[in-house]
Structure 1
Amino acid sequence: MKSYIFDTNIFNHITDDKDIDITPLYKIKCFVTHIQYDEIQQTTDNTRRSRLDKVFFLLPQKEIPTLSAVYGISRYGKAKYGNGELFKKMLESLNKKNKNKPNNRKDILIAETAFANQLTLVTHDIDLYSVMTKCGGASCNLYHLLTTE
C-alpha cells in the first residue's frame, strides 16, 4: 500500500471544496509533520482556522519528524538534523521556479521528508510537484489520489 503526505494546501482545498468526497482518504496511510499543523495555526481568521483544524484532525494520520531542521521553523524533537544536502538542492530548484516565495522552506521540509520516507507528496502547488518529481520523488494532486485509491 502506498503512503502519502499532504502539503498544507491540500487541507485548504478540502476545506474550501464543499463537494469533495474525502471518504477514500480514510483508507490510505497518511503522514504529516509539524509543519502542516503549524501553518494551519498561523491562519489569522479564527473561523477558517477552526475549519482547517477540523479537516486536519478528521483525516487519519501519523506525525513524523522532518528530515532537516531549519532555524525559526523547525520544532525541537520534531525534526532530524541531517546534512541538509537534499534540502538545499530542492530549495534552490523551488526558489528558481517561483521566485523565492516566503513559504518555500516549509514546503521543502515537507517534500524532503516525503522523499526520504518514500511517501507520495500530495500537493496542488505545480512548482513543488515539479521539484519533487525532478528529484525522483513521487507526487500527485488530490484528485488523482481520490480517483486511484
Structure 2
Amino acid sequence: MKKILGMLIVVVLVQMTCLSLALADTAKKGGPMPAVASCLLGPRIGLEMNEGSSIRTEEWINAFLFPIIPFEALDKNGMKGCLTSCCICPRAGLELKERKIRTLEWMQLVPVVGLVTRAMIVAETYQGKTMTEIEKAENLKK
C-alpha cells in the first residue's frame, strides 16, 4: 500500500511540474509547453494555447482534484457535452455547439489507436498549429 501511494505521489508531482512549465511560456506558438498541456490535459488545450489562450482554472482542478468541467458542459450543452467532456476532452464538451469533434479526437476512444492519435495531436501542437487553422482545414465549424 505504501509503494502504491508513493508511486501515486510521484506521478502527481511529475504531472504538476510538467504542467507548471506549460504555464511559463504561453505566448510562444508551438514547442514543448503547449505539447505537454495537450498531452496531459486534453488535445484542444495545447492547440488553443498556440492561439494565445491560457489554461483555465477549471481545467487545472479537473486534472488534479475533481472533474468540474463535465458539470459545466452538462449545463451548457446537455448530456452530449457532459459525455464528450468526460471521454474525449474537457474543451470539446464545452465547445460542442460551436465546433464539431475531430476524427482524431474520436479515434482516441479506440484502445491502442488512441495512443497513436494522441501522439499525432501532440505533434501538431508542437509544430504550432492552432485550433482555428484545424477548424478551417477540417470544416469543424457548426
TM-score of the pair, normalised by structure 2: 0.29
Richer in strand (by share)? 1
TM-score of the pair, normalised by structure 1: 0.28
Richer in helix (by share)? 2
Which of the pair has the greater relative contact order for Cα pairs under 8 Å at 6+ separation?
Answer: 1
